[in-house]
Each structure stands twice: as structure tokens, then as C-alpha cells.
């Protein structure tokens, strides 16, 4: 594997029906309200936008997103990514034990210069940073769905 290449996977068990989970994950413009590390999302087109994130480490990422696949019946949301990260990310939402599981998969190459330079020595920190970001997202999504804030 190249030093600037990352594959991430996260499994989010959620006590809500797949349709509600899918709809919440589909609304990228609402992410900053429930996912603490997502600082901003601005639409740049009907199927595209600019995402700005910052997790625990002191750097921000700006990522242009464009829809690649949107299939509610299959529970799949997939975006292409460019900018500070190049590649793709996918959500697969499935029923599970009376609720849902949202599987997140991401395959990216780091484009941001500083992060490329630190790829080898800081890799464990980058992976831990991503894990913390995903933990924050899962907590935020669960809170959103439990309180019914997604239905407003």
C-alpha cells in the first residue's frame, strides 16, 4: 500500500429503521448540526458540494464531493471525493436486530501537502484521528435519531 493511501471501514449500529438512517445520511447539508467534526457543507451543484472537516488533530480538510450512486432501495449512498482527499466514500444501510447498521467504507489518497509529507511517521495518528471522528459521527447520528430531530 502506498503511504498516502488509506482504506477506512466503520460499522454504525443504530436503533432506527433503515429508511430514517438512510435519509439522515443522505442530507449532507445537515451533517454540521449533528456530526461535530463536520464543520461545514456547502452545495456547489444539485449533486455536489464542498465539505470541511476538522477532527482532533490541528488540521482542516476541504473535500469536494460529487454523487456517484444514490439508491435508497439498496441502501447505498456513494460519493466521489477530490481536494485534500481523492477517492470515494460509501454508506450501506441495512436492517439489523430491529434497527439498522450503517457500514461506512472509504478509499482515499491524501492530497494535502503537509499530510503527504507526514504520511509515514504520523500514519497511526491519522488513523486514530479518523476513528475519533467516526465515533463522534455515530454518537451524533444516534442522538439525532433518538430525539427525532431528523423528522423536523
pLDDT tens column, 87-119? 999 999 999 999 999 999 999 999 999 888 998
* Residues in the chain with pLDDT values less than 50: none
Q: Taking the mean position of all CA atoms in its chain, how far away is CA 145?
A: 17
Q: Give me the pLDDT at residue 36, please.
A: 97
Distance, in Å, from the CA atom of 29 to the CA atom of 42, rounded to the nearest integer, reads 7
Task: Break the chain down into helix, strand, coil percent, rounded to 5.
Answer: 35, 45, 20
pLDDT at 151: 75
Task: Decide: residue 94, CB within 10 A, 0-12 exposed, 13-18 middle, 19+ buried.
Answer: middle
Q: What is the DSSP letter of 15?
A: S
| DSSP secondary structure, 78-96, as one string | EEEEEESEEEEEEEEEEEE
Amino acid at each position: 500500500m502506498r503511504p498516502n493511501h488509506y482504506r477506512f471501514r466503520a460499522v454504525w449500529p443504530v436503533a432506527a429503521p433503515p429508511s430514517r438512517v438512510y435519509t439522515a445520511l443522505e442530507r449532507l447539508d445537515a451533517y454540521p448540526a449533528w456530526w461535530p467534526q463536520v464543520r461545514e457543507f456547502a452545495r456547489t451543484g444539485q449533486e455536489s458540494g464542498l465539505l470541511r472537516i476538522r477532527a482532533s488533530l490541528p488540521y482542516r480538510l476541504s473535500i469536494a464531493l460529487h454523487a456517484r450512486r444514490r439508491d435508497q432501495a439498496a441502501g447505498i449512498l456513494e460519493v466521489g471525493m477530490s481536494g485534500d482527499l481523492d477517492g470515494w466514500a460509501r454508506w450501506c444501510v441495512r436492517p439489523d436486530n430491529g434497527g439498522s447498521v450503517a457500514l461506512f467504507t472509504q478509499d482515499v489518497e491524501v492530497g494535502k501537502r503537509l499530510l503527504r509529507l507526514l504520511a509515514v511517521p504520523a500514519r497511526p495518528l491519522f488513523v486514530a484521528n479518523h476513528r475519533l471522528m467516526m465515533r463522534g459521527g455515530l454518537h451524533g447520528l444516534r442522538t439525532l435519531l433518538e430525539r427525532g430531530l431528523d423528522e423536523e
